[in-house]
Amino acid sequence: MDRIFIDFSAEKGAVKPLHAVNNGPVKARSSQGRGNSDIWPEMGAPYARTHDTGHCYSYGLNHTIDISGIFPNFDADETDPASYDFQLTDIYIANTYACGTEIFYRLGESIDHRVKKYHVHPPKDYAKWARVCEHIIRHYTEGWAEGFRYKMTYWEIWNEADCGDCCWTGTQDAFFDFFAVTAQHLKTCFPHLKIGGPAGTGNRAFAEAFLSDMQRRGIRLDFFSWHRYCRTPEELLDRVHFFRDLMDKYGYSQAESICNEWNFVKNWTDAFVYSMEVIHNIKGAAFTAGCILICDSAPVDMLMYYDARPCTFNGLFDFYTMRPLPTFHTLRFFDALYKLGTSVTVSRPEEGLYAAAAKDGKGNSAVMLCHYDYEETGGPREVALSLSGGAAEYEILLLDETHGGETVGTWRPGDALTLAPQSIILLKSL
């Protein structure tokens, strides 16, 4: 029997935004359209990163978010509002905020897997590119060019420059020069906002070279962002510790560590189709839950699931109907902890079993548990859950092969719990 101990008097701090996502809701355009903005708020995603937004027709394709879409003529006057095309991006961002999710803005271009590359080349004038970004930020946070005054905290420079030529066709040194020019300019203009990047693929050598170079130049980073596609929560946790240690080594101990692309991938070759199948089923939901829960006590500040955009990596919503898939409920479960506000100490269970708990200041508490069986060879796990503090009775919500996150009963401290493989339980105090 597995034993898990939860001490509700041992506060760890605020529950971290570990259920953020890439991209926002889809708003139906007509009575015959499909959308998910009606149910999106139930998921509670605190942030939506705007990467690969330009691949989605429902968002506005390449006229949305990307620098080349908003500022289509690079030779134009970057100080003239007429040089910018904000309309579709304005709508996309307004729809996202209307659903209660803050934009995490990726400044750059969507990935380009085409043989001919169009917009992932190094800008011909780094300083001007930085000034274009400055005016985009002013449009959305200071009202410039008939703009807005959104709370838009995070601004990320570029994406996956270490991913071959599909995101950056220049050299590594050229990218470091470009990043430094942009980061320095934007931080000077907006000292109150969080400026960072580089949204690397998770490559260790690139990350170390980047951080070393930024330290040498004296570039401030408010956050360091990286990606990880893997098979188990432990593989994600390995990267969490590696990048936190690397950031500390190069003087960025105050910067946030943000994994802002992650999902299940067994491999990128013969098992890729299998990986896409997992993302859309209950095993993918359990994987997601395990990753979120293991990171509750790990040195990472935010996770951003890839992807909420209608695509093969979206395990949240059905591509054709926009109905919720199992992982939608995983994020909904964790949002119950996030809304309580204060994370508490949970003992680390054996591999394959994951847990986190939270409370508020009004006597309410919740526990989230997951059994993720990557090998699919194990049986049910019997759990003895011991609480110090907490409530006298809890509602049980179950997500598994036959349950969609609904209430299935009540639990009292001392009762046994059984978790089948690929199942998630949320206990909410009554």
Tell me the CB-side half-sphere exposure of residue 142, using CA atoms within 13 A. Answer: 10
Tell me, yes or no, whether 218 and 269 share the same domain.
yes
H-helix or E-strand spanning residue 4: strand 2-14
Indicate whether 11 belongs to any domain: no
Provide the residue range defining the domain that includes 362.
343-429
Q: Would 10 be classed as within a structural domain? A: no
Helix, strand, coil: what percent of the chain each, to 5? 30, 25, 45
Average pLDDT value for residue range 220-236: 98
**255 shares a domain with 131:** yes
Are residues 349 and 362 both part of a single domain?
Answer: yes
pLDDT at 32 over 90: no
| CATH number for the domain harbouring residue 284 | 3.20.20.80
Q: Indicate whether 111 pLDDT > 70.
A: yes
Q: Name which of 297, 321, 271 is nearest 36 in CA terms.
A: 321
Residue 323 has pLDDT above 80, yes or no: yes
User: Domain tally for the chain?
Assistant: 2
- Residue where a domain stops, chosen among 322, 342, 362: 342
Based on the fold, state whether residues 155 and 200 are members of the same structural domain: yes
Q: What is the pLDDT of residue 29?
A: 76
On whether the CB atoms of residues 363 and 429 are closer than 8 A, the answer is yes
Residues 230 and 177 grouped into a single domain: yes
Indicate whether 263 and 370 sit together in one domain. Answer: no
- Output the pLDDT for position 31: 65
**191-209 tens-digit pLDDT:** 999 999 999 999 999 999 9
* pLDDT (0 to 100) of residue 1: 86
Q: How far apart are CA 371 and CA 246, in angstroms?
A: 31
C-alpha Rg value of the chain to the nearest Å: 22
How many helices (H) and strands (E) are present in the chain, helices listed first? 10, 17
Q: Over range 296-322, report the average pLDDT.
A: 97
331 and 350 in one domain? Answer: no
Mark which of 342, 357, 387 sits at the end of a domain: 342
Assess whether 209 and 348 both reside in one domain. Answer: no
Question: Domain ends where: 308, 342, 376?
Answer: 342
pTM of the entire structure? 0.96
338 shares a domain with 189: yes
What band does 348 get if pLDDT is binned at 50, 70 and 90?
A: confident
Structure-token pair, residue 416 = 């046994």
Report which DSSP code applies to 20. E
Shared domain for 357 and 281, answered yes or no, is: no
What are the structure tokens assigned to 292, written together? 């979120």
